[in-house]
Amino acid sequence: MPKPTMPKPLSSIADGDEFDVVVLGAGGAGMSTALFAAIDAAIDAGPGARVLLVESTAQVGGTTAWSAATTWIPGTHLAPQVNPDDTLERAATFLDAAVGDRSPRAVREALLAHGGEAVAKIEKHSQVKYRIRPFHPDYLSELEGSTLCGRALEPLPFDGRLLGADFDLVRPPMPEFMVLGGMMVDRDDIPHLLGWHKSWKSFRYATRTILRHLRDRLTRERGTRLLMGNALVGRLLLSLRERGVTLLTETHAVALHRGGGNSGNNSRPVTEITLRQGETQRRLRVKGGVVLASGGFNRHPQRRAERLPGIPPEWCPGAPGHTGQAHDLAEAIGAAYGKTGLSDCFWAPVSLRKRRDGSTAAFPHFVFDRAKPHMVTVDSEGERFLNESTSYHLFGLAMQAAHQRRPSIPAYLITDAQGMHKYGLGMVRPRGMGLPEALGDGYVTSASSLAELASKLGLPAEKLQATVARLNAYAVEGTDPEFGRGTTAYQRANGDATWPGRNPSLGPIEKAPFYALRLYPGDIGAATGFATDAQARALDAAGRVIEGLYAVGNDMHSAMGGVYPAPGITIGPGLVFASLAAASAVQRARGAVGTAVHQRLAA
């Protein structure tokens, strides 16, 4: 396999060389920032901006590459296709109700004001393309201003063969999310692959998809039909290559330097950065600014211990690059974390399993099992303690809150033969595909009765049986008086629309054998990051702008204030504030510093 063609060695850049914009981190937000900077320079018909994208790992994409890449941005040109009645005013009402004073209003207003513009620009001037689903509800669908569709975009599938040798730069999905030794599947594929024998259309679809994958495997380690996060990263990478952006991989920032060498003087902008790749070190000049997009603090040992006590890093299903190293450098020159928020992180329940290579897979339980009929989640006493159909973020928070009262970590996700066949359980797919291996290594526990299952799990048998009996009665009535499961549009969407019962999230657990696995709260991304203004410019502890320093993605304090009101509320703001940071930095590089820049951005 030929070596990738895009990354350069740091040794090819001279000490003291100058770039207009330097972006630290090649996840979704960082790649978008670098791309917007290159696009803006071309649109302005001025000299092309020199943009440097620095990634600490060997591959690009970060956690975005592992995600569905849903992108929540109200008011785009795509929205009228499915929801012509939605407005930015309704979106603002929704965010006010969901987020309140947990984030600066000015930041949320910038997100709404510039979102449509950012999507239109990147679609017009790059390979990044989106589509919109006819049904994709806001998670807090009970709040005023919420919608069932029109705000959540997803990237179009991408042919990875267009990248040539650079295909190997794209971080592969988690192995547990692929089938047939490296084939990606999405929500459109699953009905056809499972129902290949039910219709000629599904047979053709499944045959075409699998044959494409088998051809790929003749020359590559995985399939080149990229979907979801991998599709977005592939499209960004191709666009960056076409725009001539310089990429460094396996490169770390060592220091940020402010003009004049006085790091304590806030009036002095960031003018230089020191990078290291192996034994090579370079100090480079920066005209427009350095953009922090390193993915958040999650794997920084000290910050994790302080902000996520009792949550081991093995429970984090995020990509390995977010070490928080760049955060140390930013704090050293005065940048400060935001102080408001519901939670320091966004959460999802995860199940853990040792892989053959000895690493631990943290599998996030987003929508495929826990909220479906024939499922229940219990604590160490065999009793329910939450609404299983709520969002994964609220589920993770509820686990931690309940654990303060009595042990709820791990919690136990339990199903019966019906649930296992229809929906699978965690890494076990529908129809029990992979079940023998999961039973063999202890990932899944099975028993012929609930009493036996309770004994194997160490739960009180009578309490577990009583819990299931109550749930079965709720399934008949279609209501859950304990926790309100399946009461909102979003919660019902997490259920099974084909289930004939009264509530798409409630079905009886009654047919042996019975199965269970353990759930843990996993941090899927940082919500606490560096405080910024509405143009993503970093602020110090006194709220003053640090000129030439920006923060986007999970390095930026969440515009949602640690609330998870809708799908794609990390990647969406990541894209919008990437566009704002890039516009400001490019203008700074051209000498247009000051009020005029920000008047232009706000126009």
Strands 270-277, 252-258: pairing is antiparallel
Residue 330, exposed/middle/buried by CB under 10 A (0-12, 13-18, 19+)? buried
CA atoms within 13 A on the CB side of 263: 11
Name the phi and psi angles at 349, rounded to 5.
-70, 135
Give Dmax over CA atoms of the chain in angstroms. Answer: 74
576 in the Ramachandran plot: left (φ > 0), alpha (ψ -120 to 50) or beta? alpha
pLDDT interval class at 261 (50, 70, 90): very low
For residue 206, the tally of other CB atoms under 10 A from its CB is: 18
Q: How many domains are there within the chain?
A: 3
pLDDT digits (tens, 9 = 90+) for 441-458: 999 999 999 999 999 999
Average pLDDT for residues 502-523, to the nearest whole number?
A: 98
- Please give the pLDDT value at position 125: 97
Average pLDDT for residues 410-417, to the nearest whole number?
A: 98
Under a CB-based contact definition with an 8 Å cutoff, are residues 430 and 194 in contact? yes
Average pLDDT for residues 365-385, to the nearest whole number?
A: 97
- Please give the pLDDT value at position 596: 40
Asked if 140 and 256 sit in the same domain, the reply is: yes
Asked if 519 and 493 sit in the same domain, the reply is: yes
- Please give the pLDDT value at position 47: 61
Q: Is the pLDDT confidence value at 569 over 80?
A: yes
- Nearest Cα neighbor of 312 from 338, 350, 366 is 350
Asked if 141 and 276 sit in the same domain, the reply is: yes
11 is a domain residue:
no
Residue 494's Cα: distance from chain center in Å?
A: 18
Map residue 83 onto helix, strand or coil. coil
Distance CA 369, CA 392 (A): 12
Q: Is the pLDDT confidence value at 142 over 50?
A: yes
Distance CA 311, CA 315 (A): 7
Tokens of 72: 């929540």
Q: Is the pLDDT confidence value at 496 over 50?
A: yes
Residue 225 β-bridge partners:
159
pLDDT interval class at 601 (50, 70, 90): very low
Q: Is the pLDDT confidence value at 45 over 80?
A: no
- Any idea which residue has 């895009």 for tokens? 6
Q: Is the pLDDT confidence value at 384 over 50?
A: yes
- Please give the pLDDT value at position 376: 98
Distance CA 380, CA 463 (A): 10
Asked if 359 and 422 sit in the same domain, the reply is: yes
- Please give the pLDDT value at position 317: 95
Average pLDDT for residues 15-35, to the nearest whole number?
A: 98
Cis peptide before 513 (omega within 30 of 0): yes
Q: Indicate the average pLDDT of the chain.
A: 93
Average pLDDT for residues 530-549, to the nearest whole number?
A: 97
421 is a domain residue:
yes
Is 0.75 surpassed by the pTM of this model?
A: yes
- Please give the pLDDT value at position 602: 43
Inter-CA distances, 484 with 369, 386, 388, 494, 513, Å: 18, 9, 9, 14, 27
- Please give the pLDDT value at position 266: 61
Tokens of 506: 């409630």
- Please give the pLDDT value at position 262: 46
Q: Spell out the residues 6+ positions from residue 555 whose beta carbon is closer than 8 angstroms to its own.
A: 25, 29, 292, 293, 294, 295, 296, 326, 327, 526, 529, 530
Asked if 510 and 536 sit in the same domain, the reply is: no
519 is a domain residue:
yes
- Please give the pLDDT value at position 593: 44
pLDDT interval class at 478 (50, 70, 90): very high
334 is a domain residue:
no
Map residue 24 onto helix, strand or coil. strand
Domain limits for position 234? 29-156+229-295+527-602
- Any idea which residue has 């502890």 for tokens? 541
118 is a domain residue:
yes
Asked if 395 and 279 sit in the same domain, the reply is: no
367 is a domain residue:
yes
Asked if 413 and 441 sit in the same domain, the reply is: yes
Distance CA 434, CA 446 (A): 14
- Please give the pLDDT value at position 387: 98
Asked if 37 and 106 sit in the same domain, the reply is: yes
CATH at 490? 3.90.700.10
Asked if 350 and 420 sit in the same domain, the reply is: yes
CATH at 592? 3.50.50.60
Determine what percent of the chain is predicted with pLDDT higher than 70.
95
Inter-CA distances, 29 with 3, 121, 245, Å: 25, 15, 15
pLDDT interval class at 260 (50, 70, 90): low
362 is a domain residue:
yes
Residue 198, exposed/middle/buried by CB under 10 A (0-12, 13-18, 19+)? exposed
- Please give the pLDDT value at position 97: 98
- Concatenating the DSSP letter of every residue in 337-368 gives B----S-SEEEEEEEEEE-TTS-EEEEE-SSS
pLDDT interval class at 198 (50, 70, 90): confident
Average pLDDT for residues 270-275, to the nearest whole number?
A: 98
Asked if 414 and 547 sit in the same domain, the reply is: no
pLDDT digits (tens, 9 = 90+) for 75-116: 999 999 999 999 999 999 999 999 999 999 999 999 999 999
Domain boundary among 493, 523, 553: 523
- Please give the pLDDT value at position 75: 98
